[in-house]
Amino acid sequence: MAKKKTAVDFEQSLGALQVLVERLESGELSLEESLTAFEQGVALTRECQQALSQAEQKVSLLTEQQGQPSIEPFDGSTE
């Protein structure tokens, strides 16, 4: 269940970050509002980076074979 929550949190954080970027790019925010939005964006970016780092570590653990990393080419097909 924690896996699902992490994925949902990442998606929500990414969505919120996209909304903040759109608001900042609109140019309609005051300086104070822009600074607040920027601070929120930095926090959301850190959350997203942390979630991606955790996912990368999990993938690394899952692809290890006999204690050694296994590097396999990714072809992108969904067979």
> Which domain CATH number covers 28?
1.10.287.1040
The sign one gets for the Cα dihedral 3, 58, 14, 31 is positive
Domain membership of residue 15 as a residue range: 2-61
Residue 16 lies in a domain: yes
In terms of C-beta density within 10 A (0-12 exposed, 13-18 middle, 19 or more buried), how is residue 34 classed?
middle
Q: Is the residue at 13 inside a domain?
A: yes
Regarding pTM above 0.85, the answer is no
57 within domain boundaries: yes
Q: Using CA atoms, how far apart are residues 5 and 62, in angstroms rounded to an integer? A: 20
Residue 68 lies in a domain: no
Strand ranges (DSSP E) for the chain? 64-65, 68-69
pLDDT at residue 2 greater than cutoff 60: no
Give me the amino acid identity at 24.
L
Does residue 71 form part of some domain? Answer: no
Q: What is the pLDDT of residues 15-38, one digit of tens each?
A: 999 999 999 999 999 999 999 999
- Tell me how many domains the chain contains: 1
66 located within any domain: no
Query: Does residue 38 lie in a domain region?
Result: yes
